[in-house]
Chain A
Amino acid sequence: MDETNAYIRIRGLRKVYQMGHTKVHALDGVDLDIPRGSFTVLMGPSGSGKSTLLYLLGGLDRPTSGKIQVGEQDLNSMDENALAVYRRRTLGFIFQQFNLVSSMNTLENISFPMRFNGSSSKARHQRAARLLEQLGMEKYTRHRPTEMSGGQQQRVAIARALVNDPPVILADEPTGNLDTATGFTVMQMLSDLHKEGRTVVVVTHDPRMARFATRMIYILDGRLVSKEDYDQAIATQE
C-alpha cells in the first residue's frame, strides 16, 4: 500500500449500530487507500456495510472508531459545521433514490447546493443552465422531477452533484433504480467525470460497473475481502 500517494486514507474504520439489544458491526476494521483521480467501485451484497463506508467517507455519519483523511482534511477532528463545509466544497453526492426536491424544477434542483455557499442567484442560474446544456437536457429546464423519467432524474442529480465543481464524487447505487440501458448511460457519465480528473467512488452490486473502474473493492460483513473470497462467498450463497 503506497501511503504517500493516497488521496483518501481510511484506517481501522469501525461502525457499530445498536439495534435494540444487539450490536451490529456494519464496518469491522476497514483500511483503504484511494488515489487521487481514481474510479473506485465498492462491491458487496446488501447489508455488507458498503453504503455505511460511503456515508462515513461523505461525513454524513460518524465512525465508532478509526480514521478518515481526505487530502489534508481529517474528518474526525471536524465539528458539524466543518463537515458541512467539507461536503459543500469537496463532495458531490449521487443517490439511488435521486433525492430531488419534488416541488423544485430542474434548474432549481441543480442549483440548490449553491444556495448554501453564498452564490448570487445569477451565478446559480448560469452554472445550472450550463450543466443542463452539457447533459443535453435544456428542454427540461422547467420540468419537475415527477414529469421526468428515472434516467432523466438521475442526470439532473448528477448535474446537482457537479454544481459546486467538487474533486470527489460519491455515488450510492446510482443505477439501482434504473433499467439496464439507462443504468449503462449513467455509468458512462460517471466514467466521464473520472476522465475529467475527479476522484469517483461508487457503491454498487451491478457487475457491469467493473469495466469503468480503475480499482475494485469487495466488501463482505463489514470487512474488505479479495475478489476470490468474494466470488466464492457469493457462489456459496447462491
Chain B
Amino acid sequence: MIPFSRTVGWITTAVIATGLFIGLVIFRLSSDLPGWVTALATVGVVLVVGALAWSAQFWPAIEYRHASYRVDGDGLEIHRGVIWRVVLNVPRSRVQHTDVSQGPLERSYGLGTLIVYTAGTDHAQVMLRGLDRADALAIRDHLLPREADDAV
C-alpha cells in the first residue's frame, strides 16, 4: 500500500510541478513586473513543489500507521485519518452490495479497493483502499448475506 501511494503521490507531484514550472516560465517571459515579484513567485513555486514532494514520499507511511480495519460477525469497522480521524462502522445487515475495483496502477501492485454500498446518504459508498486483492475478495464474500432471507 505504501509504495503504491508513494507512486501515486510522485506522479501527481510531477504533473503539478511541470504545470507550475511552465506557468512560471511563461510568467517570467511575458510580464514586465519588477524582478522581486518574479523571484517571489519562483520561491512560492519551489515551496509548493517541495511540500508536494515531501507529502508524496512521507505521508503514505504516516497515513498507513493510522489506517486499519476490522471485519467480524457484526460488520466492518474502518479507522482512517491522521488529522481528522474517523471510525466508520458498517453493520453487515446494512450492506446493499459491494464492488472490488482495481485501477491500472493498483493492478500492477496487486492491490484492490473494496467499495461497500449502503442505503445511507453521507456514506452511501464506503471505500477501503489499498487492500490486497485476495483480501478484498475475501471480505466481500464474508459481507454477503449468509442466509437467503437475511435482512434486506
User: Are A and B part of the same complex?
Assistant: no
By a beta-carbon cutoff of 8 Å, the part of chain B in contact with chain A is none
